[in-house]
Amino acid sequence: SDLRKQEEHGELLQPLIFVLLVLCSVLLYFKVSLMDPGFVKPEEEAGRSEEQSLVTPQVPSNVQMRRCGYCMVKQPMRAKHCQLCQHCVRRYDHHCPWIGNCVGERNHPLFILYLSVQLVVLLWGGHVAWSGLYFEQSWNWLQHNFLLLASFILIVIFTIVVLLLLISQLYLISCNSTTWEFMSHHRIPYLRHSELENPFDQGVILNLWRFFC
C-alpha cells in the first residue's frame, strides 16, 4: 500500500529515472569499451586514402601516407598506432585507461555520450548524498555519517574529473582536433608542414555537425 501511495504521488518516478540513467551509463561503457574504435585494416587502405584526400584538401601535398612500422599498414591521415591495442586507429584521439580501449573515429561520439550520461549520474548522486548530510560538530555524528561523507567526497572528485574531460573533449571537437594532435602538434608531419595551424578546422558549427551527424 505504501508503494502504491508513492506511485500515486509520483515519488517513484525520480528513482526510476536515476536507475535507468545508471543502466544506460553501464551499457554505454561496455559498448565503448568493446567496440572497434576504427582499426585500420589492410583491405581498407586504398579506399580510405582516397576518402581522406577529398576530406582534407588543405593538407600539403608533400606529406605522404607512411607505412606503420609496427603493423605494416599504410596509415590514413590522422591515424596513429596504439602500442597497447597493437593496431593503427583512424582519427586517433587517445587510449583511455578508464574504458581499456582507444577512442577513435568509430567510438568517439559514443564516448562523448557516455561522459555526458556519467556526468548527469554523478551530479544527481552528489545531490542525493548532500541532501542526506546534516552536519554536526560531534564525534558521534561522524561515526554515523562517515560512509555517506566519504561517498560524497568521492562523487565530487569523479565529477570534477569527468567534467574537465568532457569540456576538453568538446573544445577539441569544436576545433576539429584530437587529443593526440593537440598534444603532439610539433611531431606530426601533416600539421608541422601545414601553413595553417589546424588544416582540418572548418568552423565550430560544421565541425560539430560532421562529428555528431
Residues 117-154 as b/e (b if ≥16 CB within 10 A, e otherwise) read bbbebbebbbebbeeeeeeeeeeeeeeebeeeeebbee
Catalytic: which of 24, 71, 85, 96? Answer: 96
User: Taken in order 172, 178, 180, 181, is the CA torsion positive or negative?
Assistant: negative
DSSP 27-76: HHHHHHHHS---B--GGGHHHHHHHHHHH-TTS-TT----B-TTT--BPP
Asked if 96 is an active-site residue, the reply is yes
**Catalytic positions:** 96
